[in-house]
Amino acid sequence: MASNSNRTPTLTKKDVAREVAAASGEPLYKCEPWVQATIDALRDLMAGADPELRIELRDFGVFEVKKTKAKPKARNPKTNETVFIPARRKTHFKPGKKLRETLQEPLQELGYAIPEGSADHPANRKQAA
């Protein structure tokens, strides 16, 4: 069986509720409905978009529902048949300034080990002349 050590960790709704409980000082059983209600509200707002919508959460980011154009000349690679793909809606998330700046911090400054083959690894950096 293959090892999952390189797999990206996945956080669940329960993990988010635990984080809310820790931040608010409230017990987990009180925070879980808040998290569920927030997710339900976002889902309902996005699903009800007519046809586009923008939900801006300051200091976090923007959720958008956008239209896509119809594609009359797509091709099924298995059958080589030309198919029509109707216009539809898609979701998009754009992180806010604070979140974007936080994610831009170099991993080395955050204490993460840098793989030896990486351009960021100290052994691979060019010395300033």
* pLDDT recorded at residue 73: 81
pLDDT number for residue 64: 97
Task: Give pLDDT, residue 16.
Answer: 97
Fold topology of 51-109: HU Protein; Chain A (4.10.520)
What's residue 119's pLDDT?
Answer: 74
Which pLDDT score is estimated for 1? 47
Residue 4 near residue 10, CB atoms below 8 Å: no
Q: Is 34 left (phi over 0), alpha (psi -120 to 50) or beta?
A: alpha
pLDDT at res. 30 = 97
On the 0-12 / 13-18 / 19+ scale of CB atoms within 10 A, 31 is buried
Q: Output the pLDDT for position 127.
A: 54
Domain coordinates in residue numbering, the chain: 12-47, 51-109
The segments of the chain whose pLDDT lies below 50 read: 1, 128-129
Q: What is the pLDDT of residue 5?
A: 65
